[in-house]
């Protein structure tokens, strides 16, 4: 159900940040045509979430054309009447409903992420990037394209209280307390996957950090997150927003 196409949405930080995340994912080559999604809670105190209009490439997403969907899949606001992707709703609504601590859910089908999702051992803590995720990564087995609403329960059960999930034979998913946090996590996860594949491709003996060092490093990342409240300034995210304002200033429109 589309709403009045002439209605002009109020541009909030959630809209601006989410549109920025779409543009940045495309800028760094992690998009997949019109597929995969990034969603953000529309307001802190409501379950409604914002998601991309159906059929738009990521570089076409703007703060003003994002679609608002309620947790049952009803379109609440659709400025351009484009609708949404049903499979995207299945995955994202499940997590927004189950995890009030999560403001943003970011899912990708990057080549490196899909490749690591196909490995039996999954993501390995081989380097500093990847150690952020050591012992903190969930795995969800592939069930076909996510059109079955019953899969939502299994997705949520597999995710538990974690913020990173490998969707086996499919791709990657991260959660964040803010859009910026989710984007930065995905950027780090992508680098981790690319580095893992590059190391494996050498065929040479791999030097694996021991368990204690990987856990220590993961805890260092966690402490950084714990020490930074979501209301604090985020200089790294601000730097990404400045990048976009230089190269794609229309994202805020």
Least spacing, CB of residue 36 vs Zn ion, in Å: 5
Residue nearer to Zn ion on the CB measure, 169 or 220: 169
Residue nearer to Zn ion on the CB measure, 79 or 171: 171
Binding residue count for Zn ion, defined by CB under 5 A: 1
Least spacing, CB of residue 45 vs Zn ion, in Å: 29
Least spacing, CB of residue 35 vs Zn ion, in Å: 6
Q: Are the C-beta atoms of residues 159 and 140 closer than 8 Å to each other?
A: yes
Q: Which residues ranging from 155 to 174 are in contact with Zn ion (CB under 5 A)?
A: 171
Residue nearer to Zn ion on the CB measure, 125 or 171: 171
Give the contact letters, 171-190, x = binds to Zn ion (CB under 5 A), - = no. Answer: x-------------------
Going edge to edge, which strands form the sheet with 137-140? 75-77, 67-69, 49-51, 38-41, 104-108, 171-176, 164-167, 137-140
Q: What angle do CA 57, 97, 84 make, to 5 degrees?
A: 25
Least spacing, CB of residue 206 vs Zn ion, in Å: 29
Residue nearer to Zn ion on the CB measure, 123 or 218: 123
Would you give the end-to-end CA distance of the chain in angstroms?
A: 23
Least spacing, CB of residue 151 vs Zn ion, in Å: 12
DSSP code per residue over 84-132: --HHHHHHHHHHHHH-TT--EEEEE--HHHHHHHTSTT-S---SHHHHT
Residue nearer to Zn ion on the CB measure, 64 or 171: 171
Helix (H) or strand (E) holding 175: strand 171-176
* Size of the chain in residues: 253
Which residue ranges make up the site for Zn ion (CB under 5 A)? 171
């Amino acid at each position: 159900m589309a709403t009045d196409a002439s209605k002009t949405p109020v541009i909030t930080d959630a809209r601006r940040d989410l549109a920025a995340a779409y543009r940045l994912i495309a800028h760094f080559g992690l998009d997949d045509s019109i597929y995969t999604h990034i969603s953000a809670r529309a307001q802190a105190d409501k379950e409604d979430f914002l998601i991309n209009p159906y059929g738009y490439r990521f570089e076409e997403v703007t703060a003003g054309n994002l679609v608002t969907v309620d947790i049952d899949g009803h379109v609440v606001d659709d400025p351009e009447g484009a609708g949404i992707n049903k499979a995207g709703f299945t995955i994202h609504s499940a997590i927004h409903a189950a995890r009030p601590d999560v403001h943003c859910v970011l899912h990708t089908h990057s080549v490196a992420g899909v490749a690591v999702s196909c490995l039996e051992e999954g993501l390995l803590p081989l380097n500093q990037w990847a150690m952020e995720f050591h012992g903190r990564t969930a795995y969800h087995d592939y069930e076909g394209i996510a059109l079955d609403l019953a899969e939502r329960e299994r997705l949520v059960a597999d995710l538990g209280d974690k913020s990173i999930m490998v969707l086996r034979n499919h791709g990657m998913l991260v959660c964040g307390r803010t859009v910026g946090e989710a984007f930065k996590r995905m950027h780090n996860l992508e680098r981790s996957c690319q580095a893992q594949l590059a190391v494996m491709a050498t065929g040479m003996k791999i030097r694996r950090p021991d368990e204690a060092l990987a856990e220590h490093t993961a805890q260092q990342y966690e402490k950084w997150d714990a020490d930074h409240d979501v209301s604090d300034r985020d200089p790294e995210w601000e730097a990404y927003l400045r990048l976009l304002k230089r190269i794609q200033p229309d994202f805020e429109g």
